[in-house]
Amino acid sequence: MSPTPKPGLLEVSLYVGGRASVPGMDKVIKLSSNESPIGPSPKAMEALHAAAHDLELYPDGSTRKLREAIGEVHGLNPDQIVAGGEGSGPLLTMLANAYLQPGDEVVISRHAFQVYEIVTRANSAVPVIVPERTTNSAIKMDVEAMLAALTPKTRMVFVANPNNPTGSVLNREEMARLHAGLPKDVLLVIDAAYAEYVTAKDYEAGIELVTRNDNVVMTRTFSKLYGLAGLRLGWLYAPAAICDVLNRIRGPFNTSTLQQQVGAAAVRDRDHFWKAVAHNSKWLPWITEEIRKTGLRVDDSAANFVLIHFPKGEKNAQAADAFLMRHGVILRGVASYGLPDCLRMTVGTEEQNRLAVSLIQQFMAA
């Protein structure tokens, strides 16, 4: 006899993050993990140095100042915010731990962020995978198909908006339609990790839906636009009753002093925020158009990355990946997301973008 994990746990596939190195190469360009090319706010860095003096003391277990800073910037009640000290991923874990029971069903779109399936199976619940709709320039969540997948066993629906790795987005009306079709006891989790990048006027990150309903949660992260992936900090906005549940089960000091102070300074620095948005808004369309000129399909993206489709045969995604790697540029293979013919490229600095695009052009022309 040996210790036995809960049913479903061994069906979890290991999460493999974006590669960070190329064997034998010291200097690489990493466009594989949707990190910020701008880096963090200088004010956040100042806060980091200042906070380093208090490390003998426990942090504020309620994360009050960070929640107040987020609340002030987004116009939210800080009591309806819960922060998470290991990024936004563990907030999804906490939600699944709190609301899923063995055998419950969770609706997830086919090419969604892998963590949703992991946290579902970790609770012996059942992921119900729904195909997206594919058009000439997008792989997009299919609201009607997701609603059709509901059964009396459905307890949760995960939606990344914008979605990773497709970059597609549901607009306000589509998300509202999805929510309107859910029974009141089904929790809609909107993972808005890339919300800060979206410039479309008809986008709503989830704040309105959470404010008006008892069964919606929105998660956010400091890892993407705020350039703080190494800090590991996320937060969520949820109805008070859900925050109450999460506050009971979270670690009592689940964010560190450094995370709290750096996060508060980062969210308050709106100049840096707009600089990062402007950079993305300039280079995302440029990358999309330049790669399209090679004849490759590049999907419309609302986030800080693009999904590039390669043909089968000689110029396939694996060959492109290997070619770029030989030149020190790392994109993200997304076969584990069910997209073996695609690579995902993060928006980098101007120099990185120009180099990656010219390598793709060379690869296609060769």
Can you give the binding site for ligand PLP, defined by CB under 6 A? 34, 87-89, 113, 160, 164, 191, 193, 221, 223, 229, 234
Q: Which is nearer to ligand PLP, 288 or 304 (CB)?
A: 304
Q: Which is nearer to ligand PLP, 36 or 215 (CB)?
A: 36
Q: Taking the complex as a whole, how short is the minimal distance between the CB of residue 229 and ligand PLP, in angstroms? A: 6
Helix intervals (H) in 122-213: 143-148, 172-180, 207-212
Residue whose beta carbon is closest to ligand PLP = 87
Q: Taking the complex as a whole, how short is the minimal distance between the CB of residue 312 and ligand PLP, in angstroms? A: 27
Which of the 8 DSSP states describes residue 87? B
Q: Taking the complex as a whole, how short is the minimal distance between the CB of residue 218 and ligand PLP, in angstroms? A: 12
- Gap between the Cα atoms of 304 and 193, Å rounded: 11
Q: Taking the complex as a whole, how short is the minimal distance between the CB of residue 227 and ligand PLP, in angstroms? A: 12
Q: Which is nearer to ligand PLP, 92 or 298 (CB)?
A: 92
Backbone φ, ψ for residue 145 (5° rounding): -65, -35
- Gap between the Cα atoms of 317 and 360, Å rounded: 11
Q: Which is nearer to ligand PLP, 76 or 108 (CB)?
A: 108
Which of the 8 DSSP states describes residue 37? S
Q: Taking the complex as a whole, how short is the minimal distance between the CB of residue 87 and ligand PLP, in angstroms? A: 3
Q: Which is nearer to ligand PLP, 223 or 290 (CB)?
A: 223
Q: Which is nearer to ligand PLP, 109 or 352 (CB)?
A: 109
- Gap between the Cα atoms of 126 and 218, Å rounded: 22
Q: Taking the complex as a whole, how short is the minimal distance between the CB of residue 315 and ligand PLP, in angstroms? A: 27
CA torsion angle 10 11 12 14 (round to 10): 80
Backbone φ, ψ for residue 29 (5° rounding): -110, 115
> Is there a contact between 100 and 118 (Cβ–Cβ < 8 Å)?
no
